[in-house]
Amino acid sequence: MGRRHGGGANYTLSVLPAPAGVRSINASLRATPMKFRCAHRWAFTRWGGPLETLEDPLEPATGNEVTIRVTHCGICHSDLHIRAGGFDMGGGRMSSLERAGTRLPVTMGHEICGEVVEVGPEVRSVAAGDRVVAYPWIGCGSCAVCERGDDHLCPKAANNLGLQRPGGYSDLVRVPHDRYLVPIGSLDPARAATFACAGITAWGAIRKLSPATADDWIAVIGCGGVGMTAVALLAATSPARIAAIDPDPAKREAALRYGATAAFDPGADKAAKTIAEACGNNLAGAIDFVGAESSSSLAVNLVRRTGEVVIVGLFGGEFRMPLPMFALKSLSILGSYVGGLNDLRDLVDLAQRVELPEIPLDLRPLASVNESLDDLANGRVVGRVILQPA
């Protein structure tokens, strides 16, 4: 374990334009990667505990390894579950990340964007100075599942940034292979960071739905960072009308600004009946970004016959439904877990070609990470919090 600090010491590298005739600092930086031999992280050292500052030495990059100087890192709701040590599996049962092999201390943060500052001798696809977003859902890297770009579904290993490997709540991140880096070009790095989880999670779930028509409705249940991203992506890529469903009035208003056709409170009296009737009883699909017993029940009750429900959220609990309803409604119920490496590449490409609606971003210093996690846990975040090392 690295050295622990009681305070919030942060470190920064300022890169300034060089005067004419003087070698630029960028060029010097590329030639002297030995600068980046220590990472300054915010990590928790006990399950459920606060994040503290740690120093960890970094050995020189070897093989296909790449070191990134983090400029932006998003906070995801799943980080709350990670810090707690597991997920609610229903019936009073909790999963255990520790039993699954995750070891303390844990440096979270899987929505990572930054600048390449060091590359191993076998790296060919990126170079020092490139701006990249990191794909964090890393598997064994060699099985058939990983080779087709579905590392997040690897049956052999989990080496995810922000969980098994140190993530982006840090000034530096070591990525094990350059294949997991996607250049962002001129895209806003704060927004590109969200593509690594909120973006590909929303995109992956949307792509599981059958193509919709202008007469169809699609419900987005839960309009936090991922759900709001789904609203924006659906508005940009689908002719369907969008029903945004969230108990928070501010999030419903934001969803309407970012492309929803109508917004509803799931806690209102006779909410399911009201929503279904407002959508002409023609909800072709529902994407549940909450993943609670109440939200999944609402989803299956809202969709029409032949409707499709995609469950994404990890809030927890049990899914219950009378078995005959699967046949009587000809329902399709799917799960969707983040997205593949090709999804991230496709999403970056889409963002470079099409002007996508932009969800609210709340930029904060990395040192505010504990307060920011508390704000997220207590529903005080609209859109996505993006942390920036000082």
pLDDT digits (tens, 9 = 90+) for 320-349: 899 999 999 999 999 999 999 999 999 999
141/45 same-domain check: yes
Choosing from 318, 335, 352, the residue where a domain stops is 335
64/140 same-domain check: yes
Q: Calculate mean pLDDT across residues 274-303.
A: 97
Residue 256 belongs to domain with CATH number: 3.40.50.720
14/154 same-domain check: yes
- Cα-Cα-Cα-Cα torsion 171, 133, 155, 104, nearest 10 degrees, comes to 10
22/133 same-domain check: yes
pLDDT for the residue 88: 87
Is 203 a member of any domain? Answer: no
Single pTM value for the model: 0.85
Is 202 a member of any domain? Answer: no
Decide if pLDDT at 238 tops 90.
Answer: yes
Residue 28 belongs to domain with CATH number: 3.90.180.10
Tell me which residue of 286, 246, 250, 276 sits closest to 263, measured CA to CA.
246
pLDDT digits (tens, 9 = 90+) for 305-316: 999 999 999 998
| CA dist., res. 68 & res. 188, Å (int) | 17
Question: What's the total number of domains in the chain?
Answer: 2
pLDDT digits (tens, 9 = 90+) for 56-103: 999 999 999 999 999 999 999 999 999 999 988 888 888 999 998 899
Q: Calculate mean pLDDT across residues 367-380.
A: 96
8/145 same-domain check: yes
Choosing from 320, 335, 350, the residue where a domain stops is 335
84/172 same-domain check: yes
308/347 same-domain check: no
Is 384 a member of any domain? Answer: yes
Q: Calculate mean pLDDT across residues 247-254.
A: 96
- Which three-class secondary structure state does DSSP give residue 67? strand
103/174 same-domain check: yes
Q: Which residue has the higher pLDDT, 4 or 340?
A: 340
148/8 same-domain check: yes
The alpha carbon dihedral of 112, 150, 217, 266 has a sign of negative
pLDDT for the residue 34: 52
DSSP letters, 313-354, are ---B------THHHHHTT-EEEE--S--HHHHHHHHHHHHHS
265/346 same-domain check: no
24/142 same-domain check: yes
Is 17 a member of any domain? Answer: yes
* Strand stretches in the chain, DSSP E: 3-5, 38-44, 51-57, 66-74, 88-90, 93-94, 111-119, 131-134, 172-175, 181-183, 217-221, 241-245, 262-264, 283-288, 308-311, 332-335, 361-365, 384-388
- Cα-Cα-Cα-Cα torsion 273, 305, 298, 374, nearest 10 degrees, comes to -130
Is 270 a member of any domain? Answer: yes
94/216 same-domain check: no
pLDDT for the residue 35: 74
> Which residues span the domain enclosing 65?
3-197+339-388
Choosing from 294, 315, 335, the residue where a domain stops is 335
